[in-house]
Amino acid sequence: MEAMLASLWGGTGNVVTIEHDFKRYVGAQIGIHNPQGRRVGRVSHLRNKEFLYVVAQEDLSSQLAPATPVRPLS
């Protein structure tokens, strides 16, 4: 994804990836039971990670850094 976005503007696109890790909703933890209360599944992953890609012709990583953890494309 990052390579595709970096190819914008003739390959001069600057990509900054903002990662946000968070706990999944409670249903992911307790939703493994059927209406009778019997366990019918298993808990798999309890965390999600979102990625927000910011692409611009100028490098915005220093302006985005104070707001959230960023990973500039190297």
pLDDT in tens, 1-56: 888 888 988 888 889 888 888 888 777 777 788 889 888 888 888 888 888 899 99
- Over pLDDT 90: what percentage of the chain? 5
DSSP string, 28-72: HHHTTB-TTS-B-S-----EEEEEEEEEESS--HHHHTTTS-EEE
pLDDT for res 22:
86
pLDDT score at 33: 83
